[in-house]
Structure 1
Amino acid sequence: MRPRRDFLLSACFLPRTPAPIRARVAICCSFFIQGVAFATWCSRIPDVRDRLALSEAALGTLLLAIPVGQLISMAPNGLLVARFGSRRMLLLAGFLYPAILLFLGLAPNVASLAVGLLLAGFAANLSNTAANTQGVQLEHYYRRSIIALFHGMWSLAGLAAVALAMLLGRFGVPTWAHFGGVALGAWALLSCSGGALLTFDRAPAPAAARRGSAWRLTPFLFWLGVASLGCMACEGAIYDWGGVYFRDVLAVLPAHQSYGYFAYLCTMVTGRFVADRIVNRLGPRRVLYACGGFISGGLALAVCAPLLGGPAAMAAAMVGFALMGCGTSAVVPLCCGLAGKAPGVPPSIAIAQISTIGFFGFLAAPPL
């Protein structure tokens, strides 16, 4: 790693602020752009379906294009970031992701929408790999955990994007105009903050990385990937089946079917903003164990909630979902941070490795 003074950053962004803090804010902005773009698309899926007159089966098949695009691009994106640097790739992804979002809003037919969704998966994964690599580099400077904050910004951006979509939907704003406005805002934020991103990575990519031999999976990275897999399996199940569980199993009113997901999201966002302090005090190992306990306890409580019956069942399930939110809030950020510090492997490749393993949980858990 270069000396601490070697932060070759733009002084135009927050000029009176120390360079490391500017970098921290810039990385937060990059995660915010990711979260806004993804949640903006998700919030208008019904409108896109209606505009293209898609059946439920056709829509379900099309929506697989994003995770497929993410999955097939994980290895190439890790190598791209290792070869060309996280800053360049993050700036590229920060431009492409909003542009693809605008394309999705204008897609005239099913074929173009499918291509756009595949490209969205690629851009999302490239942005995620590069942004996490930047976060790991900055942790080397601070010498303490700060990466959970960045993931918290992603979650906060999702909440903001959903709120904006609800507001614009009430006024009948068309999808293309909504997506175009978000894209312009994202590009403006990127142009202001992009110059403050770190201009170097911890170590240049070795020749092995260019040949692909750096993809040899170490036991340490494998178990981090397994931890990510368990966490992302839980997340995927809650995203896809949380509302169905409340409606069909707990038999709540339609207006209450999102309460569990809301409780989960609130504790996950809050947990990500406080996780760094807890990690710095207790250490990553203890925090990971605690997260596993929260996830297991919350899942058990949610599954057993129907035994209580009535309003008590819904309350117990909400507490269970909230506990799972606490547990899942820190696992993936911690695993990314630890993977990026693995010796002998470029950070971008290590992060891509555990993301690849973890993503199978996100894909496989909801259908199972």
Structure 2
Amino acid sequence: MSPRLATFVVFLLNGGVFGTWASRVPALADQVGAEVGALGLALLGASIGLAVTAPLAARLCALHGSRGVLIGSSLLSPLMLPVLALSQSTLQLGLTLVALGASVAAMDVSMNMAAVVVVRDLRRPLMPQFHAGFSVGGLIGSLGSAAAAQAQWTPMRHFVLVALVGVLVVAFIVKAIPGGVGERHREEATERASVLKSPVLWLLASVALCSAIAEGAAADWSALFMVRERGMGDAAGAYAYAGFSVAMALARWFGEPIQRRLGPHRLLAAGGGLAATGLGLVAAVPFPAAGYAGFGLAGLGLAFSFPVVMDLAGETGRRADGTGGERELGLVTTIAYTGFLAGPPVVGGLAHVSSLVLSLGFVALVTALIIPATWLARRAARRPASV
């Protein structure tokens, strides 16, 4: 097995774990007897675990190499699912989700570092394809959850099966998982020079933040928007996010020629403009067809934001020998998770005082900020070379 395929399988596994537990939230809520408000607080646990652990995982990758972190977290993440199924109270559910979020964050940072290693070795813009693997994994996980729910499997029975499959998958690919830095870079990784001083990195992180806010808004509010604002039924409303997800996955999988032609910065800016246009269409045109088309355009436009930013962030920390970039990826990932964490409540708060139409219009404006942030990042990246 090639390192490229092994890395793709890891992205697939990460998406599968996410799709599995997220799709069984209703069953978990019934198991612990959680009301909507308490459940919302419990679900924040996953985001908290993600945001807190990402920079720590990046530091571990810098000190000891990404391979060990990736193998450990890839084993731990699916094994946390049966632990989640043991929850008997909302507090237990929230605390377990913190731990699950932490393991997923470590897996996320280290798998992106592994992907950067593959991209550098092959010299091909493959990062969107790896992230398409996450999208496909999420789809597989959600379909598996639907089948388990249809068969009336308990979360424990379902999660134990998924955990066993996950461990077997990791055992099968473990030898081909690529590594990051080694002990020879320990001194460099612990020096005081901080990634926080890099203007390019902060601009790239702002692109990731805007993208995460838009993606989180589509995930959490698209179905409700189509139902309440456009008069669709629950099943028809769910197709809005399905269209968003399919458009994103297809763009990521088949987008390598587009990225080669446009380059990363033009692709980011064009994608931000397309996503903003799509969300603006959703908010401004009061017809269901415009809503479906707009969410599809948003999925196409946002498809490249996170993977291309990860690629560029890794390059800002690249050393002369071709290694490096762990801490840069950690910073960008942490800020992106902040967007996933803060975005949906902000949209909900705006919708509460105004309407979902205005709140999604606001998200469209935030998404449009990807364009100037990308061009500023491009100028800042070129500046040292001209000195």
Confirm or deny a common fold (TM above 0.5): yes
Q: Residues 67, 212 of structure 1: CA spacing in aligned structure 2 closer, same or farther, 3 A cutoff? A: farther
Residue in 2 that maps onto 1:367: 345
Which residue does the alignment assign to 1:118?
A: 98
Indicate the structure with greater helix content: 2
**Residue 317 of structure 2 contacts residue 326 of structure 2 at CA under 8 Å; is this kept in 1?**
no
Partner residue of 1:191?
A: 171
Query: Distance between the aligned counterparts of 2:24 and 2:174, measured in 1?
Result: 28
Offset from partner CA, 1:141-179 (integer Å, 9 cap, x none)? 111211111100000011111111111211111110101
Q: Is it true that 1:245 corresponds to 2:225 in the alignment?
A: yes
In 2, the alpha carbon distance for the partners of 1:211 and 1:102 equals 40
CA distance in 1, matches of 2:67, 2:328: 17
The offset of 1:115, in angstroms, is 2.2
Judged with a 3 Å threshold, the aligned counterparts in structure 2 of structure 1 residues 137 and 203 are, in CA distance, closer, same or farther, namely farther
1:321 is matched with which residue: 295, 299, 308? 295
Identify the range of structure 1 (277-286 vs 190-199) with the bigger mean alpha-carbon deviation: 277-286
Deviates more, 1:55-64 or 1:280-289: 280-289
CA-to-aligned-CA distance 1:165-210 (integer Å, 9 cap, x gap): 1112111111101011011111111000111011343995452532
C-alpha distance in 1 between matches for 2:182 and 2:238: 43
Moved over 6 A (4+): none
The aligned counterpart of 1:356 is: 334
Is this contact kept in 2: 1:134–1:201, CA < 8 A? no
Distance in 2 of aligned mates of 1:314 and 1:230: 25
From 308, 314, 336, the counterpart of 1:334: 308
Give the number of aligned pairs: 342
Show the counterpart of 1:219.
199
When the two chains are superposed, the root-mean-square deviation of aligned CA atoms in Å is 1.6
Q: Matches of 1:174 and 1:133 in 2, distance apart?
A: 36
In 2: Cα distance, 1:357 partner to 1:298 partner = 24
Q: Distance in 1 between matches of 2:95 and 2:179?
A: 32
Using structure 2 for the length normalisation, give the TM-score: 0.85
Q: Give deviations 1:253-306, integer Å, cap 9, x for gaps.
A: 222111211110110110110122211222112211210111111011111121
Q: Which residue of 1 aligns with 2:112?
A: 132
CA apart distance, 1:217: 3.5
Unaligned runs of 5+ in 2: 347-387
**What TM-score do the two structures reach when normalised by structure 1?**
0.89
Q: 2:252 aligns with which of 257, 272, 283?
A: 272
Which residue of structure 1 aligns with residue 215 of structure 2?
235
Q: Any conservation in 1 of the 2:64–2:182 contact (CA below 8 Å)?
A: no
Compared with structure 1, are the counterparts of its residues 130 and 192 closer, same or farther at alpha carbon in structure 2 (3 Å cutoff)? Answer: same
Could you tell me how far apart the structure 1 residues matched to 2:232 and 2:88 are?
A: 39
* Cα gap change, 1:216 to 1:88, in 2 (>3 Å): same
2:208 touches 2:335 (CA, 8 Å); kept in 1?
Answer: yes
Q: Is there any run of 5+ residues in structure 1 with no aligned partner, and where?
A: 1-13, 15-21, 307-312
| Cα distance per residue 1:31-69 (max 9 Å; x no partner) | 111101111001111101101111111111100001011
Give the distance between the partners of 1:195 and 1:248, measured in 2 at CA: 50
Identity across matched positions, percent: 27
